[in-house]
Copies of this chain bind each other. A is one copy, B any other.
């Protein structure tokens, strides 16, 4: 099942804040609706944010009354800046916006043809994501063996992508290949993507999954209950992987227990010009920490930190699985030249 769809100027997607209790979709017809949905995390997941950003551009183009090609390009540039600001850390969103803008550059037709091209490019980005995930799944499944217990963090599944998933794409492929594997999913505070989304997806597919709180990772590793870690990524830079807060701690624990730590991410997540020091980590609202849903769990006015992502230096990463294959230490050294 596709997480996002475009049909005649309507973008419909699953409301991820309503899962696992209710599977409902909602529609967006303009970029303020898109921006709001991204900010509220009704849509989330780095690859999916790429697709939703692209469809945001498609909406601008589809409904534009610009009349001229240049004016439409101006509108698209403005829209791209607005969408880009919604979430600063995950790079796929920026990548997709830039790809759309790039596609407009060489174009010499009129505004309505350009609009059609933007819609087409957005649909292509979404289609490609599905294919890339399948390739990542295929490459990564070679690393997963019968009897493995794979620990994953947050949700890098079909809900984080257009379909199939990155980290969970690997799990799915291994499972479809007949390997008897199990998954341990961390709940992933504060937004609980692991508890709400990863368990939901895997149960739907009949893949065995156990839920733990984030602070049980050390314990399950100490007890030899985990044989591999597979996570997604929001941005891969020259020296590190940015991913959901908590990833770094898991990577350190994996290294301490000599458990392979794999990152699954399409190349649209790569930003190899940059080092980690140059990337802004999104700080989200304190209420995400002091509340669970409507329920307040901490005293009023308590000081809170809420970084949405952390930084895992590549020395903790055993391999990165992308659509081209498996990148290891030797490949990391050539990140400059990729």
Contact = CB atoms under 8 A, between A and B. Distances in A.
A186 interface: yes
Q: Looking at chain A, what size class is its interface with the partner chain? A: 35 or more
Contacts of A297: 187, 192, 195-196, 292-293
A212 B302 CA distance: 11
A293 B292 contact: yes
Given A252-B218, A298-B199, A305 B189 contact: no
Given A187-B189, A189-B213, A208-B303, A218 B196 contact: no
Given A203-B299, A298-B195, A289 B248 contact: no
A299 B188 contact: no
Contact of A209 (B184, B188, B302): B302
Interface string A303-322: 11111001100000000000
Nearest to A257: B252
A56 B293 CA distance: 38
A50 interface: no
Contacts of A306: 213
Contacts of A303: 208-211
Contacts of A184: 305
A298 B185 CA distance: 11
A220 B186 contact: no
Contact of A189 (B215, B293, B301): B215
Contacts of A310: 216, 218-219, 222
B296 A199 contact: no
A213 B210 contact: no
A158 B20 CA distance: 38
Contacts of A335: none
17 contacts: A21-B296, A187-B189, A187-B297, A187-B298, A195-B297, A195-B298, A203-B302, A208-B303, A211-B298, A213-B245, A213-B289, A214-B214, A216-B307, A219-B248, A249-B253, A252-B253, A293-B295
Q: Report the 7 A-B pairs with minimum CB-CB distance, sorted nearest first.
A: A215-B246, A218-B249, A214-B215, A189-B213, A218-B248, A292-B292, A219-B310
Given A199-B299, A211-B302, A216-B245, 13 more contacts: A189-B214, A196-B297, A210-B303, A213-B246, A215-B246, A215-B249, A216-B307, A218-B249, A218-B310, A219-B310, A252-B256, A293-B295, A293-B297
